[in-house]
């Protein structure tokens, strides 16, 4: 029965969450920004859990205060990180052709239409590890150029591997990640 329901391509795409890559500028709304814990985020959560268990076991009031202060600090960092990425416009630039073995230059344009600065935006290529951190002033457009090494001939499909991350200035152990689903232009 399930196989028959998923035979329709539109229903299957909805069920599996696949959407074709978008063209042009992509505005990162609140539904496109999501928070994933990193290894340090999991360590932070485990530390909070140990502090909470220790505070309950020994009935330490200052331990409770420290635990909930640190938990609140983590939540505030997540809110600031989400605010840093929300309503940011991302568009792919033109990628020039390169030979195999050279570094391909992928350009992303980040448009900040808000009235506030967006500090510490991290743009990176997931597969190669190329990354760039930039501060984006209010009302400005920033350009991020990522040099990604190529190993073979042909189209280097990078649309799904480019990501933008925002972190709060407190360098929280959690980061908000988003993937823009825009294709880079072929040269």
Q: Name the residue ranges covered by the structural domains of the chain.
A: 25-187
Residue 133 near residue 115 (C-beta atoms within 8 A)? no
φ, ψ (nearest 5 deg) of residue 84? -65, -30
pLDDT per position as a tens digit, 130-144: 999 999 999 999 999
Which tens digit of pLDDT belongs to each residue from 55-103?
999 999 999 999 999 999 999 999 999 999 999 999 988 888 888 889 9
HSE-up of 1 (CA within 13 Å, CB side)? 0
- For the entire predicted model, the pTM comes to 0.69
> For residue 40, what are the contacts with CB-CB under 8 A and spacing of at least 6?
173
155 and 18 Cβ atoms separated by less than 8 Å: no
Q: How far is CA 62 from CA 47, 53, 59, 102, in A?
A: 16, 13, 9, 57
Buried b (16+ CB within 10 A) or exposed e, 4-31: eeeeeeeeeeeeeeeeeeeeeebebeee
């Amino acid at each position: 029965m399930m196989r028959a329901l998923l035979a329709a391509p539109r229903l299957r795409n909805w069920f599996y969450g696949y959407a074709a890559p978008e063209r042009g500028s992509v505005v990162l709304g609140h539904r496109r920004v999501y928070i994933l814990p990193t290894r340090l985020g999991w360590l932070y959560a485990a530390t909070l859990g140990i502090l909470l268990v220790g505070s309950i076991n020994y009935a330490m009031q200052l331990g409770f205060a420290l635990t909930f202060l640190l938990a609140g600090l983590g939540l505030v960092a997540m809110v600031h990180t989400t605010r840093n990425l929300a309503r940011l416009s991302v568009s792919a630039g033109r990628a020039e052709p390169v030979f195999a073995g050279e570094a391909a230059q992928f350009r992303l344009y980040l448009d900040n239409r808000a009235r506030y600065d967006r500090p510490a935006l991290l743009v990176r290529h997931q597969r190669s590890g190329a990354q760039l951190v930039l501060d984006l002033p209010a009302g400005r457009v920033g350009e991020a150029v990522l040099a990604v090494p190529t190993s073979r001939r042909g189209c280097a499909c990078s649309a799904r591997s480019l990501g933008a991350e925002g972190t709060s200035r407190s360098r929280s152990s959690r980061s908000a990640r988003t993937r823009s689903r825009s294709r880079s232009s072929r040269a």
